[in-house]
Amino acid sequence: MANLLESVGESTIGHLDYVGSLNIQLWATLRAMVQALPFVGNRYRWQTTVRQMLEIGYDAMPMVSLMAICTGFILAMQGASELRRFGALHYVIDLVAVGFTRELGPLLTAIAVSGRSGSAFAAEIGTMKVTEELDSLRVMALEPIEFVLAPKYLAALISVPCLSIVSNVCGILAGGLFMFFSTRLSLLLYVHYVFTSINLRDVTTGLIKSVVFATIIAHVGCLEGFRVRGGPDSVGRSTTSAVVKSTFLVIVADAVFTTIFYFTVKS
């Protein structure tokens, strides 16, 4: 019994320490982000931010688009297979449009970015930690959070919401493709029904989620890199840990926000 309580206590303290480290890192990054902004910040940091935006956003666009198209087509088919029995096939449009703008678009994007960019952040910073490049930055009076993390975080804040919008469009158009082949519904009429189904609150909900997901992915990936200890093998472990933890926290955050928005609308 004592060993059980001891292990539970150690695990709880470890998780609380991790959450506290994320919060400390977040506030330090927010203070350092001024240097990564255009015009008012350091131009080299802004150039790094642009490169990170291309890596996080532009390079991930084909994969995110393909995931959204496949998911939209599957969601439309699964919804139609049930709704057809009740003569309510037109509700497939509401299911796909609202489902992607509120939920699936930001979530699919976050999972894709977590696997691509979150792991890359952890590997890059972890390698810098092992090769003592971070210590060299401190010797040159350069703060690693300002030099390494702030551009990545700013790039993620810009790129992930944009990718979520791309995911929404691709998923909704995939549902329109299914409706065209199954009911011969024209694309223009489908788009009209889509705009009738969704409202500004749905779009805003998805964008707020995508900003939170970008924060989780960037900070978990970078924190895992900063926490690397030992040799090169620890870089691989931190990369795996970054993907697992960021994906888990993204899903937890998604559940929390969905619950909040649900009871807000209900009230």
Residue 40 is assigned to a structural domain of this protein: no
pLDDT digits (tens, 9 = 90+) for 220-244: 999 998 888 877 778 888 899 999 9
The 8-class DSSP code of residue 141 comes to T
Q: How many domains does the chain have?
A: 1
From 25, 55, 19, 44, select the one nearest 152 (Cα to Cα).
Answer: 55
Residue 253 is assigned to a structural domain of this protein: yes
Q: Which two tokens stand for residue 206?
A: 């998805």
Residue 226 is assigned to a structural domain of this protein: yes
**Total-model pTM:** 0.90
Residue 207 is assigned to a structural domain of this protein: yes
Using CA atoms, how far apart are residues 123 and 238, in angstroms rounded to an integer? Answer: 7
Residues 166-188: what's their mean pLDDT?
A: 88
**Which range marks the domain in which residue 85 is found?**
46-266
pLDDT digits (tens, 9 = 90+) for 22-49: 888 888 888 888 776 766 666 677 788 8
Using CA atoms, how far apart are residues 185 and 182, in angstroms rounded to an integer? Answer: 8
Cα 182 from chain centre: 33
Helix segments in the chain, DSSP class H = 2-32, 43-53, 61-83, 91-99, 105-113, 119-130, 133-139, 144, 150-183, 187-197, 200-226, 233-266
More confident residue, 56 or 6: 56
Residue 251 is assigned to a structural domain of this protein: yes
Give phi and psi for 163, each to the nearest 5.
-65, -35
